[in-house]
Amino acid sequence: MDNILDTAKTWLTDFFDPAVKKEVEYLIANDQEELKDRFYKNMEFGTGGMRGVMGVGTNRINKYTLGKSTQGLSNYLNKVYKDGEIKVVIAFDCRHNSDTLARTVAEVFSANNIKVYLFSDLRTTPELSFAVRYLKCHAGIVLTASHNPPEYNGYKVYWTDGGQIVPPQDGAIIAEINSLDFEDIKFKANEDLIQVIDKEVDEAFIEQSVQNGNFNADGKDDFKIVFTSLHGTSITAIPEVLKRAGYKNVTIIEEQAKPDGNFPTVKSPNPEEPEALSMAVKKAEEIGADMVVGTDPDSDRLGIAVRNLDGKMEIVNGNQAMVLMTKFLLDKKKAKGFKGNEFIATTIVSTPMMEEMAKAYGVEFKTALTGFKWIGKMIKDFPQSKFVGGGEESFGYMVGDFVRDKDAVTSTLLACEIASQAKANGSFFYKDLIQCYVDYGFYKEHLVSITKKGISGAEEIKQMLKDFKENPVESVAGSKVKWIEDYNTSTAKNVLTGEEKIIDIPKSNVLIYETEDGTRIAARPSGTEPKVKFYISTNTKLDKAENYKKVSAELDAKIKNILAELKLG
């Protein structure tokens, strides 16, 4: 505790604002537990920058922790780009303090002689990714905590290609940040270097979104969409994109259309949670809509609900949406003629069905660690290859490469194109999805997410993963474990034959068991939340669409048994 107290006392110097000093003094005198949680460590970069609870302290998001990161990034940019003007672009979402923190970040960059383009108001994350390349910037920042609770905020860093920072830049930037003291932050702005931007970039982004997501589907006039922005940023882009693509019947959930960092109408503004879309689904049932789309606060994830076989609205998961979107894009490419350099991509914890589909179309399949920065890196690393589309199980998808991060704006349009065309053809989104199961194998996934907060929670997560690794599972649902993939050591071992393979992707704290029947169990800690996640994937053959319900129920029962076996139920 002495070290924590010493760290806290460093925030009592005149460098820090009077209100900050007052709060630290109060915590020292009255609340040792809270003081400990706020100062026991420094806020760290995760899978996409920094994300955490806002407040005073080294383990909180505030002007000092973000200022220090920005100072480190500024130092790195000034070292790497010695000639000519260095430029960055900054966007922010609907969260509390996002606008003021964005302004602080802009001021620090400008104080370090870096030109800043700052959006005038909230914008989507995909627009920020697009803006980096459009404005020929060296880096980009978006102030967001994605779908986290209201008390969170964060900071995602993008590089010259419009993708999030990856090795070696991330390590070098972190080293710069860690070498600094808070007193090294230059807060005094050079206003001449800060330029406010809006309509020109908006127009270019919306135009590109329509161009990449619109395939002139039939049946748009009578295709009914219910859209909710869940109090987030997508209200600035998606209604206009849908309108320009020819969709006239779009009902917006007005109660959720106003940006609001409290997210008052939902428990969590995360489209992965069915409850988040409940208001939109209810409206869709009332008006007989064909599709519901809802996006998270920074508009990089989308949730979709469509009519199932019984005519009721049902939310499709990220894996299902990804499969159908990718198939649609591949069909369009195939109709024009493959050039032989196309590839699709997903992550190691997403559905293996993507690989089966790639084989069927004869295109290359690439897999990456969780986090869209790794898919963005593929595009950069293989300039001779053409990225068609790809996504991850956590409701993120990217259409083409004009944006280098998951993009709910263009993906929303793509989903509507697929469903509208299916309806015009006498089919529907859900029915087309079932046909994919017949064609490529029926894969069904399930996610278990366990939250453990604070210092003790971090230790519990560490222990759970240690136990999972040190006490290997020998069989799952009656099928022997064949492969154990340890991404920490970059090795995959066939425990039945002793064969070992090198995993040729960066190291990560992920462990995957695969059984003889293709069942996969993956475990990983979240890079941005105090959670440990277990991903279960099962599969079987579906001989014909008519047997879908029966086979689906069998896979559900299998997943239930697996959860009980692993004590995750």
pLDDT for residue 341 is more than 70:
yes
**Binning pLDDT at 50, 70 and 90, where does residue 47 land?**
low
Locate the domains of the chain by residue range: 41-197, 219-440, 442-566
pLDDT for res 46 = 58
DSSP structural state of residue 60: S
- Section 297-307 average pLDDT: 97
Q: Is the dihedral of CA 203, 205, 209, 212 positive or negative?
A: positive
Q: pLDDT band at 299, cuts 50/70/90? A: very high
pLDDT over threshold 60, residue 350: yes
**With DSSP H G I counted as helix, E B as strand and the rest as coil, what are the percentages for the chain, rounded to 5?**
40, 25, 35
In this chain, the answer to whether the domains covering 41-197 and 219-440 adopt an identical fold is yes
Give the residue ranges of DSSP H helices in 441-515: 454-470
Q: Which two three-digit tokens encode residue 97?
A: 């303090």
* Closest listed residue to residue 57, CA positions, set 76, 70, 41: 41
Mean pLDDT of 26-31: 96
Q: What is the CATH number of domain 442-566?
A: 3.30.310
Cα separation, 41 vs 57, in Å, equals 9
Fold entry, domain 219-440: Alpha-D-Glucose-1,6-Bisphosphate; Chain A, domain 3 (3.40.120)
Half-sphere exposure of 50 (CA within 13 A, CB side): 28
pLDDT score of 454: 81
Average pLDDT over residues 483-500: 96
pLDDT digits (tens, 9 = 90+) for 86-114: 999 999 999 999 999 999 999 999 999 99
**Residues 6+ positions from 8 with CB-CB distance below 8 Å:** 24, 27, 28, 35, 38, 39, 57
Across residues 359-383, what is the average pLDDT? 95
Q: Is the pLDDT assigned to residue 2 strictly greater than 90?
A: no
**Closest to 68 measured CA to CA, from 216, 198, 173:** 173
> What gap in Å lies between CA 416 and CA 187, rounded to an integer?
46
Q: Is pLDDT above 90 for 45?
A: no
pLDDT in tens, 398-455: 999 999 999 999 999 999 999 999 999 999 999 999 999 999 999 999 999 998 888 8
DSSP state of 165: P
Percent of the chain at pLDDT exceeding 90: 90
Nearest to 396 by CA among 453, 321, 504, 478: 321
Q: Compute the average pLDDT of residues 301-325.
A: 97
The residues near 108 (Cβ < 8 Å, ≥ 6 apart) are 67, 70, 71, 74, 185, 186, 187
Greater pLDDT, 554 or 470:
554
User: Which region among 306-315, 374-383, 450-459 has the lowest average model confidence (pLDDT)?
Assistant: 450-459
- Which of 275, 360, 280 lies closest to 323, judged by CA? 360
Span 214-220, average pLDDT: 97
| Three-class DSSP category at 306 | strand
The yes-or-no verdict on residue 386 having pLDDT over 70 is yes
Whether 535 shows a pLDDT value over 60: the answer reads: yes
What are the pLDDT digits (tens) for 172-196?
999 999 999 999 999 999 999 999 9
pLDDT digits (tens, 9 = 90+) for 316-332: 999 999 999 999 999 99
> Edge-to-edge strands of the sheet including 364-368?
364-368, 342-347, 386-392, 396-399
Q: Are 109 and 138 in contact (CB under 8 A)?
A: no
Mean pLDDT of 125-130: 98
Catalytic member of 146, 229, 234, 420 = 146
Q: Is 146 a catalytic residue?
A: yes
Q: What is the pTM of this model?
A: 0.96
User: Using 50, 70 and 90 to split pLDDT, how confident is the model at 464?
Assistant: confident
Mapping DSSP onto H, E and C, the string for 202-237 reads HHHHHHHHHHHHCCCCCCCCCCCEEEECCCCHHHHC
Written as one string, the DSSP assignment of 102-138 is HHHHHHHHHHTT-EEEEESS---HHHHHHHHHHTT-S
User: In Å, how far are 297, 329, 477 from 334, measured between CA atoms?
Assistant: 35, 9, 39
Fold entry, domain 41-197: Alpha-D-Glucose-1,6-Bisphosphate; Chain A, domain 3 (3.40.120)
Q: Output the six-digit token pair for 116.
A: 């800043």
Q: How far is CA 383 from CA 17, 155, 161, 387, in A?
A: 48, 28, 12, 9
d(CA 525, CA 516): 26
Taking CA atoms, 187 is separated from 70, 78, 170, in Å, by 10, 17, 23
Q: Do residues 484 and 503 lie in contact, with contact meaning Cβ atoms separated by under 8 Å? A: no
Statement: residue 527 has pLDDT above 80: no
CA 238 – CA 126 distance, rounded (Å): 12
Phi-psi category of residue 458: left, alpha or beta, with phi > 0 → left and psi -120 to 50 → alpha: alpha
Contacts of 233 (CB under 8 A, 6+ apart): 93, 94, 122, 123, 124, 125, 259, 297, 298, 299
Q: What are 311's two structure tokens? A: 């005519």
Band (501; pLDDT cuts 50, 70, 90): very high
The pLDDT value recorded for residue 424 is 97
SS3 call for 389: strand
SS3 category, 245: coil
Amino acid at 314: E
Residues 118 and 194 sit within 8 Å (Cβ to Cβ):
yes
Start-to-end CA span in the chain (Å): 37
Beta bridge partners of 305: 292, 315
pLDDT class of 371 with cuts at 50, 70, 90:
confident
At 380 the pLDDT is 94
Show the tokens assigned to 431.
């029915």
What local confidence, expressed as pLDDT, does residue 1 receive?
65
DSSP state, 487? Answer: T
Measured distance CA(472)–CA(484) in Å, rounded: 9
Q: How many CB atoms lie within 10 A of CB 437?
A: 23
